[in-house]
Structures are given as C-alpha cells and as structure tokens.
Amino acid sequence: MAAIDRSQVWAGGLNDLAQAGRGMKAPRFYDTTLRDGEQSVGTSFDPDQKLEIARLLDGLGVGRIEAGFPRVSEEDRIAIRKIQDAGLKAEIWGFSRALIEDVQSVADLGMRHVVIEAPVSDMKLAALSVSREAVLERVAKAVAFAAGKGIQVAFFGVDCSRGDLAFLERIYRTARDAGAAEFVAVDTLGIATPEAVAYLIGRIRGWFGADVPLHFHGHNDFGLGTACAVAAAAAGADWIHGTIDGIGERAGNANLPEIAAALELLYKVETGIRLDRVRAASQRLREIAGYQLEPWKSVVGRNLFVRETGAVAAQFHIPEAIEPYASALLATPRGIVLGKKSGIASIKIKCEELKLDPPAESYARLLEAVKQAAIRKRGLLTDDEFRGIVERAAA
C-alpha cells in the first residue's frame, strides 16, 4: 500500500507536540473475526463465508488470520482447510485450549501456528473449578505437545488483566519453558484502562526481553478497545488483535479498522492496513453476519462524510474545516442530504449535484418547503422528493 498522503490528514499540531520524542514501532495486525468475532450472539459463518471473509482480511493487509477453533465442529475444520488452501499472504493460525486433544486437532490439519489459551485469573479458575497447579500442568503439557510437533505457539492467558501478577509471571514462564515462542496480554472483559494495558505489556516484556513477540488482545466493554490497543502498541506490543467492526461477544472486540486509522492518521505509524478497503470489508461482513452499525460509527459509519446541518453545509467546500481527514483516504464520497436542519447552502449544493437550475431567489422558498416536508416525514428527503419540490415551485 502506498504511504498515506499526510496533506489529507487535518489533525493540527497538538498530537505532534504531545508525542515528540516518543517513537512508536509499527505493530502488525492479528485478526480474529472468524473465531472471536463469530462468538457474537446469533452469528454463525459457514465455511464458504469464512473463506470469503478471510480473503477480505487478506486484502486489507492483515498479517495473521485466526481461522478458527478446529475442535469445535467438522464445519470449522472444513473452513480452515479451505482457508489454508486459498493461497493467502497472511499467516493462518489455529486456536486451542490447553488440552492435548485440542492441539492434536490443530496438528491434524497441518497448521503451523496456534494460540493456546488457559484461564489465569483466580475468578476464571474458580468458575471452572480448576486449581492454579492444575492449570500450570495443563499449559506445560499442551504447549510442549504443540512445540514437539513443530507448531509455533503463542500463549494466551485468559483474563490476565484481572490476574495476580506473581501467578501470571509463573504461568507465562511455564509456557515459555514448555516451548511457547510468543505471548498474549489478554483483557478478556475489557476492564483495563489504557494505562493498565501499557503497564501489563511492560511487565511481560520485562519477563522475556526485547526480542520475544508480544500480543495484545482486548475487548470493548467500556468503549476503550481502540484506546487500549493504541496504548499496547505504544508500549511495544508487536501484534494487535482485533476484528472487523469490533464484532464479538458482549460489547465486542477491539475494532481493527479503528485502531489502524488511529495509528496511521494520528500517530503516523505505517500499519500496512489498506484503509481504502475497510469500508467495503465492513459492509460485506455486515451483509454476511446480518448486523447493523450506528450510522455515526467512526471509520465505517455511513454518516461520516455526509452533512445535513446548514451551518456545516455552508463550509462543505472546505472539507478540512468540518472533517479530520479526507474521505479519499477511505475511498468514499462526501455528500449533502436535505432535512429539517438544512440551510440555504444545502439547497445550492444539492441543486448543483442534481443539475437543477432554479433561480437563486427561490432558494429560501425551497428551503422552507424542504424543512416542512422533512418535519412531516420525520426524516430526510430523497433526491426525487427534492426534485418534486423544485418542479412544483417552478410551476
């Protein structure tokens, strides 16, 4: 992907002042839409849909795709085989609990990379009636089994953001000693503040040194998923986990397109993500999964570059006055819509757009007619409805 045209980012200079002297290395993206995203209530992808989504992710420039949890079902195994055979550029990862049987199902598919998860907080252990000693033994056996088969392991400590730090160090070191090569800081319930995430990444980095790959996997229960992911990147995380649109359980996962946009446009970090493709990928995922987003959603919301308010429409010809970056960066058009809050400038712009040529002195009457029609409708006017207003005014 070509570098971002910085002349199309209108963020001012405050961020540069605040970030002076704080370099951030570029993290890579690990997408878990096909596994964690599918855990969203009511969501179920068939194998062909998973393959299509994997191709969308690969086209975005994601470095790793978590293809699924093969022990779940035969359908999941079929999907993983399809993705493995698709010739994608991204690494294809499997998911496993810290159980020999789970790891064997990954090995049976010839997968070379796996995330192995285990509960690490006392609350999770109690809920599962598993002792600390028992989970340590499970982790050691499962990781050693995977490593013995030549599978690259990233250890994933479930709920580690609520874990006892002394025990976290013990279980992560146990995974390392058994053969894990990478480690994931996991904010399972989205309770960590950005500062806490940075602290946790720093602690894990201290256990293993500068060269061991670290990941961050976050959720969005307090609306901090993107902020926490950015904090993880700033603290030195090598891989950021996320999903398209933040699809996932409860309030969802960290939102990959939002994180990429924030890093690229505000922190000037090259992520390799094709921002010009994220809106199309989001739209297609919504069609497959059958969900909708708030129209004001950042990065992919339909209202992002659409204006109704008259005062804002009056500045429409100067996009940097009313938008933080150019719509071209997301390969999407700008537009004016007509409704209750429109102004004279809205009428002028819409007439030019539709190639209508009413006399300028009629704009005020047209505006009043638009407002009244919008109030009756309790919504926006379509282009055809506006054409009708113009035609009736000319009659």
What ranges do the domains of the chain cover? 8-289, 306-394
| CB of 40 closer than 8 Å to CB of 252 | yes
Contacts of 167 (CB under 8 A, 6+ apart): 120, 122, 132
What are the beta bridge partners of residue 113? 152
> How confident is the prediction along the chain (395 residues), in pLDDT tens digits per residue?
567 899 999 999 999 999 998 888 899 999 999 999 999 999 999 999 999 999 999 999 999 999 999 998 999 999 999 999 999 999 999 999 999 999 999 999 999 999 999 999 999 999 999 999 999 999 999 999 999 999 999 999 999 999 999 999 999 999 999 999 999 999 999 999 999 999 999 999 999 999 999 999 999 999 999 999 999 999 999 999 999 999 999 999 999 999 999 999 999 999 999 999 999 999 999 999 999 999 999 999 999 999 999 999 999 999 999 999 999 999 999 999 999 999 999 999 999 999 999 999 999 999 999 999 999 999 999 999 999 999 998 87
92 contacts 113 by C-beta, under 8 angstroms: yes
Q: Which CATH architecture has domain 8-289?
A: Alpha-Beta Barrel (3.20)
Q: What count of other Cβ atoms lies within 10 Å of the Cβ of residue 113?
A: 19
Q: Are the C-beta atoms of 28 and 269 separated by less than 8 Å?
A: no
pTM: 0.93
3-class state of residue 255 by DSSP: strand
